[in-house]
Amino acid sequence: MRKLSKLTLTTAIAAVLALGVTSCGEKTPKLTESQMLIQDVETGNVLLDKWSGPYGGVPPWDKIEVANFTPSLNTAFDMARAETNKIADNEAAPNFDNTIIAMEKSGAALNRAATIFFVYASNLNKGEIPSILKEMSPKFSQLSDEINQNPKLFARVKAVYENMDGLNTEQKRLVKNYYDGFVRQGATLNDEDKAKMSKINARLATLTNQFGQNVLHDEESYVTFIEDEAGLAGLPDWLKTSMASAAKANGKEGQWAITNTRSSMDPFLTYSDNRAMREKVWNTYYNRGDNGDKWDNNKIITEILQLRDQRAKLLGYKTHAHWKLENQMAKTPENAIALMEKVWPHAIGRAKEEVAEMQAIADAEGVFIKIAPWDYRYYAEKVRKAKYDLDLNEVKPYLQMEKLREGMMWAAGQLYGFQFEQIEDVPVFHEDVRVWEVKDADGKHVGLWYFDPYARKGKRSGAWMNAYRTQQKLDGKATTVIVSNNSNFVKGEDGKPVLISWDDANTMFHEFGHAIHGLNSNVTYPSLSGTSVSRDYVEFPSQLYERWMTTPEVLNKYAVHYETGKPIPEQLLAKIKKASTFRQGFDTTEYLASALIDMKLHMAGGDPIDPDKFERETLAALDMPSEIVMRHRTPHFNHIFSGGYHAGYYSYLWADTLTADAAEAFVEAGSFYDKDTAARLKNCIMSVGNTIDPADGFKCFRGRDVEVEALMRDRGFAKPK
């Protein structure tokens, strides 16, 4: 998942150009209109000032003090207000340079301070950080409303929008994005409705922050401990080792812990012979945010949905979903639902077949149970062994996190010419974080990649990519990229490699796909740069990059046994390939259930709902198999209630449709390392950001519009070509 920066989500200010300071005695260059309006001044405040040091400047993590966040952000808000007011009050006739480019350059100090703050809060959310988040979230919303509802500022943007003669394609798209953004955020409302919308936005900022804090509380507060080895029956050694490390980290050395995260829960449910313990761990995980206590999210969900619906109707939309999808690739919720409903019957049909196979094994073992959700992974693994003679425990010793990290870098080098060199001359926010310089094939500096792989207290769950600094070429000056990938792997014993699951390895490549999307960017304007594309397109480059993990070139060289150094045997690889569509019923159903609930929640209107009841009744109407639950149950669905995927979780399926079709282009070329196909991917998709319509970008790469049949083949729901 690409985590959009809060600044991009809550204000109309994009990343900006850091203008150089002219030394005393040098001739001052002629300033453009936008430079005369907006100058990036030095304040003496480390959070606000331009980043210094090597590589075009780096985040000053070694100088960050939590106590400085609140006053610095408040100062940055005032600076951003002054800058945008200066643009709005400019007496010169509005044009592209003094309005649009000036806005691209405004908010530089706020962009830097917010980037540091939100990265810090995602990874070290403890101490005073939750209180600061609670205080600051409404202020970001307030500033966004002030900018988007400023009538003089909108009038200037509208004037440029209505006269784009002489602008090139990229400039026209930039202007249109600004104009549409103002309209979608209430610029055309009357004063009374603008006030209503601002009140709604402020309340939503508070609620969505609280939702995420509640989920984080339940993830950190509910840890399941096993006190004796009898409770470890069925667990492989690598899992017992990681559980022992987790217990030690939670103050229970000598015991074993299952933390309340997917990366800990999933393998335990897959291998544990203890059904009662599986049920306990399952309930603990899937009841996050739904425990009827002060951290319960159900009332928050109801209010969020009502407020989003009220806002959509103020803006003239039928529902929040219609507002959200208007500027996405899908365009309408009906289009998104049509794709999901095409896949859904195949998914639940396959799931029912999977359950029948599992039930047959359980019956043969004489355990006399009916497969329940906490049994699915356990018996699915038995089916995998019986049907494909594949035990993923055989694969695990070959999946070293560090070797796979090398593999994904190597593949990026083959495709795009990137070279990665680890560096130690930049500060980081935690000792676990490491940094690599990225260069192109000619040795020219491209950017930096930060890697933060391990779980810790205060770190949000899951895996994501952040953009610290986006690529841009305003005024002809190149600003290089800084991106990061963050994961939640459990640290192993000192000196021993961290072994990860096949799914976690895919996730590593996925998130790195977001990073190289940003690193490949080659556009002029920061708000069109890198991953700043529609929500249902941004996951396409990252999902596509997962395909390189399973190429023979990566597996043979980097999926090597942690003790012997030998690659995965061909016989085992053949089994993995044969089982490639195994458990697609489960995987597709649990995902689609979440995506459909998301869309239906946001199309339900403004009447108050009981989230648990809505979830239960909607899934029943969809004929959801009782043995499977949503991947993200409503009370802990961070993507849609504290992130940017509301009415947008369908995006992963939409992007996977593009992915499956694009992957077949490499298959047709004869290799996933075909130079011509890789160059076309870079030129049509990876480098263009949001400068062109994504449908046009895909057509440029594929030579035609996307076809859904590739997705159905990919998931084993249709016959191969």
What amino acid positions are annotated as catalytic residues? 511
Helix, coil or strand: residue 166: coil
- Which residue has 């600094």 as its token pair? 469
Q: How far is CA 593 from CA 339, 436, 587, 600, 634, in A?
A: 13, 38, 10, 10, 11
Length of the chain: 721
Name the token pair of 670: 């004869």
Nearest CA to 465 among 544, 548, 539? 539
Name the token pair of 615: 């979830």
Nearest CA to 683 among 664, 665, 698? 698
CA quadruple 685, 687, 693, 694: dihedral positive or negative? positive
Phi-psi region for residue 11, left (φ > 0), alpha (ψ -120 to 50) or beta?
A: beta
Nearest CA to 384 among 576, 626, 238? 576
Q: How many Cβ atoms from other residues are within 10 Å of residue 169's Cβ?
A: 9
Phi first, then psi: give them for residue 628, nearest 5 degrees: -130, 145
Of the CA atoms within 13 Å of residue 59, those in its CB half-sphere come to 29
User: Rounded distance, CA 38 to CA 30, Å?
Assistant: 14
Angle at 468 between CA 464 and CA 470, to 5 degrees: 105
Q: How many Cβ atoms from other residues are within 10 Å of residue 628's Cβ?
A: 22
Angle at 1 between CA 598 and CA 542, to 5 degrees: 120
User: Rounded distance, CA 675 to CA 677, Å?
Assistant: 6
Are residues 401 and 508 in contact, defined by beta-carbon separation less than 8 angstroms? Answer: yes
Name the token pair of 365: 């073992």
Angle at 69 between CA 65 and CA 70, to 5 degrees: 140
User: Rounded distance, CA 397 to CA 498, Å?
Assistant: 9
Tabulate helix, strand, coil % of the chain (nearest 5). Answer: 55, 5, 35
Element (H, E) at 382: helix 376-388
Give one DSSP letter per residue of 597-658, joined into a string.
HHHHHTTS-SS---HHHHHHHHHHHTT--TT---SS-GGG-HHHHTSS-TTTTTHHHHHHHH
Nearest CA to 262 among 236, 238, 234, 284? 284
Scored b (16 or more CB within 10 A) or e, 523-535 reads bbbbbbbbbbbbb
